[in-house]
Structure 1
Amino acid sequence: MAVPSGQAVTLQDVIWNARGPDGATMRFRFVAPGIAPAGGVDFETASADMQHLCDTYALPRLADQVPVPQQVIISLSDVPVPFGEAAPEATQFFESYRIEDGLCVWEMF
């Protein structure tokens, strides 16, 4: 998938059956090898990529969900990691967004 940093990003999976603190939540989990320690993509750069993924990938996929999620979590990992499992060797970044007026609005996670 194309992201502002130009790094390679692929969808790992989408989790929609685990409620978040604000109710219905969808988690979009991506593999992004560029965030590895030697990959050259820092957190600030990856944050812009995650905002882009929420705006252009996640948001269009919410309308068909019942109930419509009020929160989206975008995660990047340098290697695939099973959901809910600890992986101390993996580099992982997470951002949370509330959906407001059809937009992904960043929330402190």
Structure 2
Amino acid sequence: MRGVVCAALTMLSLAWPASARDAAIAVPSGEEIHWIETLHDTQGPEGLTLRFRFLAPAIGGANPVSAEVAQQDMAALCNDFALPRVPSPGPKPAQIIISLSERSVPFGEADEGVVQYFEAYSIADGSCVWELF
């Protein structure tokens, strides 16, 4: 079953055109956010996990967006960007992880010079529900 899920998710991610990475995604703060990638091959503590990674240059630098504002943007990204991309039919992920990064950093690598935010969500009643991460 795991192979079928991975194959379905891989086909879904390949279906997103490269131009989707270039287009800015609307968020409540109005900041410029770009989708980097979606990872589905790393198991989370709660089971099947989809990780949506985004570039958000405004969270760092001289006049950074606050963590509170970034949190609102991540909730909107979960509901408006990630949820519509959850495969259906298919198994529902136990968690959706949304991450914002000031600059692109390879998954799993730390860079003390780059501001990054992460939030975890479960899915209930067709909406993202914030989970303590």
Tell me the TM-score range normalised by the shorter chain.
over 0.9
Aligned-pair distance for 1:38? 1.7
Name the structure 2 match of 1:10.
34
Does residue 22 (structure 1) correspond to residue 75 (structure 2)? The answer is no
Deviation at 1:66, TM superposition (A): 3.6
The residue that corresponds to 1:91 in the other structure is 115
Paired residues of 1:36 and 1:91 also in contact (CA < 8 A): yes
Q: Deviations over 1:9-65 (max 9, x none)?
A: 001111001010110000000000000042431100000000000000000111337
C-alpha distance in structure 1 between counterparts of 2:48 and 2:103, whole Å: 27
| Aligned Cα root-mean-square deviation (Å) | 1.2
Unpaired stretches in structure 1, ≥5 consecutive residues: none
Q: TM-score normalized by structure 2? A: 0.78
Task: Give the fraction of aligned pairs with identical amino acids, expressed as a percent.
Answer: 50
Match of 2:78 among 49, 54, 70: 54
Structure with greater proportional helix content: 2
Greater C-alpha radius of gyration: 2
Letter aligned with residue 11 of structure 1: W
User: Alpha-carbon deviation of 1:99?
Assistant: 0.8
Distance (whole Å) between structure 1 residues aligned to residue 115 and residue 106 of structure 2: 13
Q: Segments of 4+ in structure 1 off by > 4 A? A: none
| Higher normalized contact order (CA 8 Å, seq sep 6+, divided by chain length) | 1
Whether contact under 8 Å (1:24, 1:69) holds in the other structure is yes
Distance in 2, Cα, partners of 1:39 & 1:3: 18
Structure 2: unaligned runs, 5 residues or longer: 1-24
- Per the alignment, residue 38 of structure 1 pairs with 62
Q: Which amino acid aligns with 1:104?
A: C
